[in-house]
Amino acid sequence: MGIIDEPTVIRSGEELDMTRVKEYLKDSIPGLEGEMEIRQFPSGFSNLTYFIRAGEREMVLRRPPFGKKAKTAHDMSREYRMLKALRPVFPYCPEVLAFTDDESVMGCQFYVMERIKGIILRKDIPEELHITPDRAAKLCENLIRIQSDLHNVDYRAVGLDSYGKPEGYVFRQVDGWSGRYRAARTTDAPDFEKVMQWLHDHLQEDSAVPGVVHGDYKFDNVVLNPENPLEIVGVLDWEMATIGDPLMDLGSSLGYWVDRDDPESLQMIRQMPTSAEGMLSRNELVKLYGELSGRNVDAWDFYYCFGLFRLAVIAQQIYYRFFHGQTKDQRFGMLIHAVKILEDTALKVIEKTNL
């Protein structure tokens, strides 16, 4: 397997009407020539991502998953418009090419963007990248710097002032994700009630300086330059992006972060190479973010606990689809174990905090 993500055959149950899709693309994107090939990227747990090649041109199509979805999730039009507005000031966004809400094409909204070809880090760093401890630390610094840059974008200047309601954002996030968890809970899932109550009881004030929040910023949503793997050339998966409190975005990001000295249970559900030698710890990343952004990070336990809980909700929502037979993807069946580990981790944060 190469170090650059490559598409493969489309999974059973996630096939597209090739004829309709190809007709739409040729009508909507000028200059497409040659035979058109459509395959699927195998990674990811949420929106489905398909590879399209037309002649020498490579593109990516994103559509919602099949099966039950949260009412406000997977809004392709919102994601498309967000990318179109941000790209001129935040060049890590992919260039979007087409969007349609005509469900006669494939039964849902979808959009198409240019492919940003590069390296996406998964669970472990490929040996051929030669990421020494010093280089690993630099990569972490670049990751947090770009997130801080995003949070500092003047969202009003690019026409995104109507994309979110910064006032009450922290409450709505805690309340909204609590509701989503309860709606997606299956009979074998923990109740998370103690964690949800603690988050409600320890709500932090909304940031006085709101910004664009990505909502799922992490290593496997950034693209690295194959010629220089320390350079981030793209940021993907903008489905949760909005205007809100940047510290909640940081908490969401570091909910995924597993340190080298974390317990074995967390190591078991690690999905990214954050425990590799040289990688910064969560505490080091928070300190660096505070220095880069000038924001107060003293209440970090709240944001980290929220990040763990939010990640558990996402896992539970996906597991719900597997539990009820709405997807055949066997990866989803293991997510119930992650939900239980994340609850235990969040409870330990609560036990140790000084908030």
Question: pLDDT tens-digit profile of 300-340?
Answer: 999 999 999 999 999 999 999 999 998 878 889 999 999 99
Give CA–CA dist 59/37, Å, rounded. 10
Summarize the confidence of residues 81-110 as an average pLDDT: 94
- pLDDT over threshold 70, residue 112: yes
pLDDT of residue 44: 61
What pTM did the predictor assign? 0.90
**Burial label, 173 (beta-carbon count in 10 A; 0-12, 13-18, 19+):** buried
207 contacts 247 by C-beta, under 8 angstroms: yes
pLDDT of residue 2: 62
Write down the architecture of domain 18-114 according to CATH.
2-Layer Sandwich (3.30)
Phi, psi of 184 (to 5 degrees): -100, -5
Sequence ranges of the domains in the chain: 18-114, 127-352
pLDDT of residue 74: 61
Mean pLDDT in the chain? 93
pLDDT of residue 46: 67
Give CA–CA dist 198/189, Å, rounded. 19
Summarize the confidence of residues 289-304 as an average pLDDT: 97
- The confidence band for 181, taking pLDDT boundaries of 50, 70 and 90, is very high
CATH code of domain 127-352:
3.90.1200.10
pLDDT of residue 5: 80
β pairing state of 110-114 and 57-63: antiparallel
Give CA–CA dist 350/332, Å, rounded. 28
Give CA–CA dist 174/203, Å, rounded. 8
pLDDT of residue 73: 54
Segment 220-264, tens digit of pLDDT: 999 999 999 999 999 999 989 999 999 999 999 999 999 999 999
pLDDT of residue 70: 47
CA nearest to 52, candidates 41, 42, 44, 43: 41
Phi, psi of 42 (to 5 degrees): -80, -20
Segment 27-81, tens digit of pLDDT: 999 988 888 999 999 876 568 999 999 988 999 999 988 754 444 456 789 999 9
Tokens of 351: 């036990």
